[in-house]
Amino acid sequence: KAGVTQTPRYLIKTRGQQVTLSCSPISGHRSVSWYQQTPGQGLQFLFEYFSETQRNKGNFPGRFSGRQFSNSRSEMNVSTLELGDSALYLCASSLDSINEKLFFGSGTQLSVL
Amino acid sequence: AQSVTQLDSQVPVFEEAPVELRCNYSSSVSVYLFWYVQYPNQGLQLLLKYLSGSTLVKGINGFEAEFNKSQTSFHLRKPSVHISDTAEYFCAVSVAGGTSYGKLTFGQGTILTVHP
């Protein structure tokens, strides 16, 4: 069974640009969560989607958005990039509930110059 | 709100020695508790979780953790570590009861370095 796949693996952007990151969950998993990981702030929850609906959201500005498609694949978008958005963005999938294991992808390393 | 404190940012240990990674949490509601491991350039992998029941939880790779409600702790232990255990370890909590929907609150991580 294939794991969680995130693309691209590395991304370099400049301030003011926007970026879209992609996540394909494990087959059969309907919940997709996104996290930002930085050396200073650690791992922070961005949002979670289930059956194309956002069920939960962290404390990030509106420049961070996401969506989920009918096949459970998810994308997150960051508009008007800032230097502080440089981070490893991790996607995790699960069958549904938080009782289940969250399976994490290897992440997308975003560098904003 | 929930918070997690991992008391040691780095733990060096020799191979085959025992290790304990400490985690304390704060929450006004019941929580579920987790330990994840992150190897370099990889995502996180679940080691073990506590939802309810026995306070001693056994996980993968020989790790175990004990939930102590009175001390609000969830320390991770391994009786004998290997070089391959070198990684960063994260303690995390979520609100119990099914409304967390993917949201885990993580500690800052503990880097475990196993020396030969």
Phi and psi (nearest 5°) for B62?
80, 5
pLDDT at B12: 97
Q: Which one of B41, B43, B105 has the shortest CB-CB distance to A90?
A: B43
The verdict on a CB contact (< 8 Å) between B101 and A31 is: yes
A100 against B36, higher pLDDT: B36
The string of pLDDT tens digits covering residues B55-86 is 999 999 999 999 999 999 999 999 999 999 99
Task: Check if B109 contacts A (Cβ < 8 Å).
Answer: yes
Q: pLDDT means per 10 residues in chain A (113 residues)?
A: 92 97 95 95 95 94 97 97 97 79 93 97
What is the rounded distance in angstroms from the CA atom of residue B40 to the CA atom of residue B50? 25
- Give the model's confidence band at B101: pLDDT under 50 very low, under 70 low, under 90 confident, else very high: confident
Quote the pLDDT of residue B53. Answer: 87
Question: B100, A90: Cβ pair inside 8 Å?
Answer: no
Residue B2 touches partner A, C-beta closer than 8 Å = no
Mean pLDDT to the nearest integer, B93-101: 83
Q: Is B56 exposed, middle or buried (0-12, 13-18, 19+ CB in 10 A)?
A: exposed
Residue A100: both structure tokens together: 């289940």
Does residue B112 register a pLDDT over 90?
yes
The mean pLDDT of B79-103, rounded to a whole number, is 91
CB contact under 8 A, A58 and B51: no
Q: How far are the Cα atoms of A2, A25, B15, B67, B76 from residue B19, in angstroms, in the given order?
A: 33, 34, 10, 17, 8
Note whether B54 contacts A: Cβ–Cβ < 8 A. no
